[in-house]
Structure 1
Amino acid sequence: MTEFVLVAGVRLGSWAWDDVAPSLRAAGHGVHAVTLSGLAEKRGTPAGQETHVRDIVDEVERLDLREVVLVGHSCAGIPVGQAAERIGDRLARVVFVDANVPADGESFVSGRPDGRAMVEASISANGGFWAPRTAPEYEGQDLDAVQTARIVAGSTPHPGATLTEPAVPARPLGELPATYVKCLLDGAEPNPDVAKLLTGERRRLVEPDTGHWPMFSRPAEPAEIILEAAGS
């Protein structure tokens, strides 16, 4: 049995996987959706980059999970990639869902040269948090009105320090067995750090024709990809 540890991205909590988890459980696997500190039901908890890495590692160690597939969506790919290195032989594979990946000394915002000023301005203006998106900002991402409303209603401000503090990976990310899910409506080409990750025999690229939030727009597709990553 594979143990799936699911981590959603910016502003989201464990609830973001509610439409994906049943398919994984139906296939006979364990499913553990993690809310990172400072978000959703953990809103108000202080958090930096290392906090989010520990959130993930602690979940694996607390439950003594083995044959772990870590799944990180969006900016959660940065702490997930670092956690994958720390759990050692418990790890079976990492699945990055349209995600950022950790690069030594780089942060989420440093990987956004086109939007860094916007993110940092929002963090500064909102008491150290990146403000939630409004409904119009989800247009063009294969989401209907109900799906968009659900994301907007469930989103919480994202702790800014987790976006500005640098990643400190223990070893080259390319050594990890990884699947990368590039959602084509969010851009056809992976960024340079992801492109480096995809070189090598232990990596796989999947390109669904949907937007950046596939767990809402087409939950059956990420569920199938995640199951394939576990050899199911």
Structure 2
Amino acid sequence: MSFFVLVAGAWLGSWAWDDVVPTLREAGHDALPLTLSGLAEKRALPAGQQTHVRDIVDEVERLDLRDVVLVGHSYSGIPVGQAAERLGDRLTRVVFVDSNVPADGASFVSTWWEGPAKLEAAIAGNGGSWAPLTAADCQGQGLTDEQTARLVGGATPHPGDSLAEPAVLAAPLGELPATYVKCLLDGPEPNDDVAVLLTGERWRLIEMDTGHWPMFSQPHELARILLEAAR
């Protein structure tokens, strides 16, 4: 039996995995969807990126979880990648779902595809947090109107400090046993840093014909991919 630890991306909490968890459990596994500090029901807690890494590691150790498949979506790929290398033999595999990946000394902001200055200005203009996504942000991502309303309605501001703090890696990320799930409606190719990692022997690529939030648009298909990754 594997234990899936599920961490959603920016603006989202554990609730984002509600449609994925039942399929994992029906297959005989267990699942722990996590809310990171500063988000959803934990919105009042201060949070930097290393806080998010500790959120993940501390919960796995507190529950003494083994055979962990650690799943990070979007922003959360950055703390998940750092947490994965700290779990030692508790970790079976890490799965990055259309996500960023950590680079030692780099932050989410520093690698922002439109340029760091634009994201820094957006965070500063919103009182130090990244404003939640809107329905317009979800267009072209394979979501129904109902799915979009649920996603946007549950989103909360994302703590800016977690986006600006640099990642800390003790070893090359390519040494982790990893699956990268690329959602094709969000771009046909992985980012350059991911493409390099996928040339290694321990990384493999899975494609989904959907958008950036597959836990909403194709939850059962995503769950099946996670189950396959655990084998």
Under TM normalisation by the shorter chain, which class is it?
over 0.9
Aligned-pair distance for 1:127?
A: 1.3
Answering whether residue 198 of structure 2 is matched by residue 181 of structure 1, we say no
Cα deviation digits, residues 103-160 of structure 1 (max 9, x gap): 0111111111424333211210111100011111110000111000001110000000
2:53 and 2:137 map into 1 onto residues whose CA distance is 28
CA RMSD of aligned residues (A): 0.9
Alignment of 1:11-30 (within 5 A): 11-30=11-30
Alignment of 1:45-194 (within 5 A): 45-194=45-194
Answering whether residue 9 of structure 2 is matched by residue 9 of structure 1, we say yes
2:145 and 2:137 map into 1 onto residues whose CA distance is 12
2:108 and 2:57 map into 1 onto residues whose CA distance is 20
Cα deviation digits, residues 27-67 of structure 1 (max 9, x gap): 11110000000000000100001000000001100100000
Runs of 5+ unmatched residues, structure 1: none
Structure 1 residue matching 2:142: 3-state secondary structure: coil
Cα deviation digits, residues 52-93 of structure 1 (max 9, x gap): 000000110010000000000000000000000001010000
Contact 1:2 1:230 in 2 (8 A): yes
**Aligned positions, number:** 231
Contact 1:174 1:199 in 2 (8 A): no
Amino acid at match of 1:220: H
1:217 and 1:88 map into 2 onto residues whose CA distance is 33
- Which residue pairs with 1:33 in the alignment? 33
Normalized against structure 2, the TM-score is what?
A: 0.98
1:178 and 1:86 map into 2 onto residues whose CA distance is 15
Runs of 5+ unmatched residues, structure 2: none
Instruction: Find runs of 4+ consecutive structure 1 residues off by over 4 angstroms.
Output: none
Normalized against structure 1, the TM-score is what?
A: 0.98
Structure 2 residue matching 1:193: 3-state secondary structure: helix
